[in-house]
Amino acid sequence: MKVSIILPNYNCERFLKESIESVLSQSYADFELILVDDGSTDGSREIIESFNDSRLKAVFLEENVGICRALNIGLKLAKGEYIARMDSDDVWDMNKLHKQIQYLDMLRSMDLCFCFARIIDEGGYNGGIRYPQVEELFHTPITMQKELFERLVFQGNCLNHPSVMIRRTSFEEVGMYYRPSQGKLQDLELWIRFLKKGKHIGMIEEELLSYRWLPHLGLNDSFPNKRNIQQAYNEHVSIIKKAFLEIDNQVFQEWYKEEFIQKGANDTYSFAIEKAFYLLKKKSEFELMPVIIDLFDFVLDSKEGQEVLFKNYGFKMKDYYRLLQNPLYFDEIAMKDSIEKERRIAYLEQEIVRTRVSYEETRSWKITKPFRDLKKLKK
| pLDDT score of 374 more than 70 | no
Q: What pLDDT is attached to residue 319?
A: 95
* Residue at a domain's end among 234, 269, 304: 234
C-beta separation of 324 from 293 below 8 A = yes
Here the contacts of 143-146 (C-beta below 8 Å, separation 24 or greater) are 145/195, 145/200, 145/201, 145/255, 146/255, 146/256
Q: How many domains does the chain have?
A: 3
Taken in order 5, 11, 17, 18, is the CA torsion positive or negative?
negative
Quick one: DSSP state of residue 41?
A: -
- Mark whether 91 and 172 lie in a shared domain: yes
Answer whether residue 205 is part of any domain: yes
- Mark whether 316 and 220 lie in a shared domain: no
Give Cα separations from 267 to 17, 58, 63 (angstroms).
54, 49, 48
DSSP SS3 for 4: strand
- Mark whether 283 and 361 lie in a shared domain: no
Place 335 in a pLDDT band, splitting at 50, 70 and 90.
low
- Mark whether 370 and 286 lie in a shared domain: no
In angstroms, the CA 257 to CA 241 distance is 20
SS (H, E, C) 187-214: HHHHHHHHHHCCCCEEEEEEEEEEEECC
Taken in order 105, 108, 111, 117, is the CA torsion positive or negative?
negative
Place 267 in a pLDDT band, splitting at 50, 70 and 90.
very high
Return the closest-CA partner of residue 1 out of 28, 22, 21.
Answer: 28
Taken in order 365, 370, 375, 379, is the CA torsion positive or negative?
positive
**Side-chain half-sphere CA neighbours of 236 within 13 A:** 19
- Please give the residue that has the higher pLDDT: either 364 or 91: 91
- Mark whether 204 and 69 lie in a shared domain: yes
Q: Is 372 exposed, middle or buried (0-12, 13-18, 19+ CB in 10 A)?
A: exposed
Q: What pLDDT is attached to residue 78?
A: 98
- Mark whether 50 and 112 lie in a shared domain: yes
- Mark whether 226 and 252 lie in a shared domain: no
Domain ranges, residue 354: 335-378
- Portion of the chain with pLDDT greater than 90, in percent: 70
- Mark whether 24 and 135 lie in a shared domain: yes
Please provide the average confidence, as pLDDT, over all residues in the chain: 90
Place 345 in a pLDDT band, splitting at 50, 70 and 90.
confident
In angstroms, the CA 89 to CA 79 distance is 24
In angstroms, the CA 8 to CA 74 distance is 8
- Mark whether 68 and 199 lie in a shared domain: yes
The bridge status of strand 3-9 relative to strand 31-37 is parallel
Give, rounded to a whole angstrom, the gap between the first and last alpha carbons of the chain: 49
In angstroms, the CA 350 to CA 346 distance is 6
> What's the CATH number where 167 sits?
3.90.550.10
SS3 percent helix, strand, coil of the chain, rounded to 5, is: 55, 15, 35
Answer whether residue 240 is part of any domain: no
Answer whether residue 330 is part of any domain: no
- The per-residue pLDDT for range 176-190, each reduced to its tens digit, is 999 999 988 999 999
* Residue at a domain's end among 205, 234, 263: 234
* Residue at a domain's end among 234, 257, 273: 234
- Mark whether 289 and 256 lie in a shared domain: yes
Q: What pLDDT is attached to residue 220?
A: 56
Answer whether residue 97 is part of any domain: yes
- Mark whether 26 and 126 lie in a shared domain: yes
- Mark whether 216 and 358 lie in a shared domain: no
Answer whether residue 241 is part of any domain: no
Answer whether residue 243 is part of any domain: no
**Strand ranges across the sheet with 112-120:** 56-60, 31-37, 3-9, 82-85, 165-167, 112-120, 201-212, 91-92
Return the closest-CA partner of residue 68 out of 76, 79, 80, 57.
Answer: 76
- The per-residue pLDDT for range 208-240, each reduced to its tens digit, is 999 999 876 655 565 556 677 778 888 888 898
